[in-house]
Structure 1
């Protein structure tokens, strides 16, 4: 028994050291720095009482939630279809859909500008059709577009992997009992893909909450928490407030991932 305990400790020690060094210690350091400013520990309360910080938090969570919902819908439909239907060019299409994995956030932000910016393609088309130029790259809508763009690749891969493991006999049984195509989707396919949806959705949400490169590229009228942290740190030299906001952002991300781990079990790792 003692030998087994020693072996367990020996095996878990590297993971424990890594977890402490790269998560616990940085988060603890951020937490104490956040309470070391002029306002002390009230900096954490200011996140809820100060309208600027609170609105940025709400905007961040809202964009992340909308991104997650849109990504799961698009990737869910596309992933199941591509997994179950083989046709010429299938592999190329999957490669194109997952290609944005290679792009950093700054590049994606620039692509959004090229589409929906002042000189973008969408603006030129809408001006030709309606006489008015549609520009939304520098708003939350543009940020939403960028987040969805880089969230789809990893989500669609997760869905395709999960769809491959679905048992077609369950769907055949449901149809033989008179279930309509929609009932098959709602009662068989979606429940079967639920762990993948939860895990991929958690990763998507956490990534959108903390993404900085795309927001920085588009940050003309965007008030999201990563940009507020950057502004507090660089322009206002308010290191304590930046640390407090960073701690809250990290805590929210960790809570979402922990809840997803509880709901989906070990499948969360597959989403990465």
Structure 2
């Protein structure tokens, strides 16, 4: 079939809306953010920021939390997603609807749900008080934030795993099984390599979402020191526009690096499995 070619003016007309959105909602704001963060002394401003122990501790905590959420999400979602993609049972559609329901919740709602579960008046505290005599309250800590991020991350990865699992070649697994391969070897040698491009992309999105999530952290922020909350504090409470802008750039750079590496690895995985 012949390729469809467009005159130059039509090409410009087709790309103009996307280019306008890109310039208005990304390029211009990012340029302004860099200018504000530089404050006329780019190296000195960022050098002082990176030398600040509080800011670096906040960045480190955010990266560790995002990595832990990503790892836990991947471990839970791969098993669940493969089972849901391959098994038919009564109530499957209802279960899928419930599992993906958190995708419709904003971060603030997720935060309130964590408070209802593990807050001062939460279900876990009430049960632990009756069983042990101690009230377990961890909603306002990194543990509570971890649960909140895990809650809205799992549906994203499950959907990706299910979509990738439908494209697997079942004959390869049958051949390996007929040759005596154990289920574990089949999973490691056939299933996971075939799923790897989709899993890498899902991991990157999960990590990036956890890095920049604000609503849940804001709702639970009592003793939580993650970078989005640090940026919010510097911007609103301290009126420190330069530091807030600089930390935003740092957060964006770290997230972009992870996405870039994931995209590169995903491309390599596609080439290896082709």
**TM over 0.5, shorter chain:** yes
Q: Is the 8 A contact 1:46 1:53 kept in 2?
A: no
Q: Give the secondary-structure state (helix, strand or coil) at the position aligned to 1:179.
A: coil
2:29 aligned residue (10, 13, 26): 26
- Give 1:250 shift: 1.5
Residues of 2 paired with 1:7 and 1:194: CA distance?
A: 41
3-state secondary structure, aligned to 1:172: helix
Gaps of 5+ in 2: 270-274
Give the structure 2 partner of residue 199 of structure 1: 201
Give 1:14 shift: 4.1
Offset, 1:176: 1.6
RMSD across aligned positions (CA) = 2.1
Give 1:234 deviation, angstroms.
0.5
Q: 1:179 pairs with 164, 178, 181, which one?
A: 181
1:189 corresponds in structure 2 to 191
| Displacement after TM superposition at 1:4 (Å) | 7.5
TM-score (ref. length: structure 2):
0.90
SS of 1:162's equivalent?
helix
Moved more, 180-189 or 117-126: 117-126
Distance 1:172 1:99 in 2: 34
1:43-58 matches, cutoff 5 A: 43-58=45-60
Runs of 4+ in 1 over 6 A off after TM superposition: none
Partner of 1:110: 112
In structure 1, the residue matched to 2:136 is 134
Segments of 5+ residues of structure 1 without an aligned counterpart are 268-272
Name the TM-score, length of structure 1 as normaliser.
0.91
Matches within 5 A, 1:1-272: 6=8, 10=12, 11-36=14-39, 41-265=43-267
> 1:192 Cα deviation (Å)?
0.9
| Partners of 1:79 and 1:47 in 2: CA distance | 42
**Superposition deviation, residue 12 in structure 1:** 4.4
- Of 125-134 and 152-161, more deviation after overlay is shown by 125-134
Alpha carbons 1:31, 1:244 under 8 Å: kept:
yes
The CA distance in 1 between the partners of 2:230 and 2:63, in whole Å, is 14
1:79-110 deviation digits (Å, cap 9, x = unpaired)? 00001000000110010000011111001000
In terms of mean alpha carbon deviation, does 21-30 or 112-121 score higher?
21-30
How far apart are 1:29 and its partner, in Å?
Answer: 1.4
